[in-house]
Chains A and B, each alone.
Chain A
Amino acid sequence: MEKADQSEYTPRIVVLYCHNAVSSPAELREGSYQSKGVDAYFAALPCSSKIESSYLLKIIADGADGVVVAACPEGHCQFMVGNCRAEKRINYTRSLLDSIGMGAERLTIEKEKDLTAKDLLELALNRLETLKILGPNPMRGAEK
Chain B
Amino acid sequence: MIIAEWKPLPELVDKLKGYKRVLVAGCATCVAECAAGGEREVETLAPLLRMALKKEGYDVTVNTKTLERQCEWEFVESLAELVPDIDAVVSLACGIGVQAVAERFPDLAVYPGVNTTSLAIRQEPGLWLARCAACGDCVLGETFGFCPVARCAKSLSNGPCGGTRKEGKCEVNEELDCVWHQIYERAKARGKVDQLLKVRKPRNWSNSGHGGPKRMVREDLRS
Q: Is residue B40 within 8 Å, beta carbon to beta carbon, of the partner chain?
A: yes
Q: Are A58 and B55 in contact (CB under 8 A)?
A: no
Q: Is residue A54 within 8 Å, beta carbon to beta carbon, of the partner chain?
A: yes
Instruction: Offer 13 A-B interface pairs, CB within 8 angstroms, sorted by A.
Output: A52-B40, A52-B44, A53-B44, A57-B47, A58-B43, A96-B44, A96-B48, A99-B9, A138-B54, A138-B55, A139-B50, A139-B54, A142-B54
Q: How far is the CA of A54 from the CA of B44 in the complex (A)?
A: 4
Q: Are A100 and B59 in contact (CB under 8 A)?
A: no
Q: Are B54 and A57 in contact (CB under 8 A)?
A: no
Mark each residue of chain A from 116 to 144: 1 if its CB lies under 8 Å from any CB of chain B, else 0.
00000000000000000000001100101
Q: Is residue B51 within 8 Å, beta carbon to beta carbon, of the partner chain?
A: yes
Q: Is residue A61 within 8 Å, beta carbon to beta carbon, of the partner chain?
A: yes
Which B residues are CB-close (under 8 A) to A96?
A: 9, 44, 48
Q: How far is the CA of A53 from the CA of B39 in the complex (A)?
A: 12
Q: Are B59 and A58 in contact (CB under 8 A)?
A: no
Query: Which A residues lie at the B interface, using CB under 8 A?
Result: 1, 52-54, 57-58, 60-61, 96, 99-102, 138-139, 142, 144
Q: How far is the CA of A52 from the CA of B45 in the complex (A)?
A: 12
Which A residues are CB-close (under 8 A) to B59?
A: 142
Q: Is residue B10 within 8 Å, beta carbon to beta carbon, of the partner chain?
A: yes
Can you list the 8 inter-chain pairs with the closest CB atoms, starting with the nearest?
Answer: A61-B47, A54-B43, A100-B52, A57-B47, A54-B44, A53-B44, A99-B9, A58-B47
Which A residues are CB-close (under 8 A) to B40?
A: 52-54
Shortest Cβ distance from residue A38 to the other chain B in the assembled complex, whole angstroms: 22
Which A residues are CB-close (under 8 A) to B57?
A: 1
Q: Name the residue of chain A whose CB is nearest to the CB of B43.
A: A54
Which A residues are CB-close (under 8 A) to B61?
A: 144
Which B residues are CB-close (under 8 A) to A58?
A: 43, 47
Q: Are A61 and B51 in contact (CB under 8 A)?
A: yes
Most A-side CB within 10 Å, residue of B10, B51, B52: B51
Q: How far is the CA of A102 from the CA of B56 in the complex (A)?
A: 11
Q: Name the residue of chain A whose CB is nearest to the CB of B57.
A: A1
Most B-side CB within 10 Å, residue of A52, A139, A144: A144
Shortest Cβ distance from residue A86 to the other chain B in the assembled complex, whole angstroms: 15
Q: Is residue B133 within 8 Å, beta carbon to beta carbon, of the partner chain?
A: no
Which A residues are CB-close (under 8 A) to B86?
A: none
Q: Are A1 and B44 in contact (CB under 8 A)?
A: no
Q: Are A60 and B51 in contact (CB under 8 A)?
A: yes
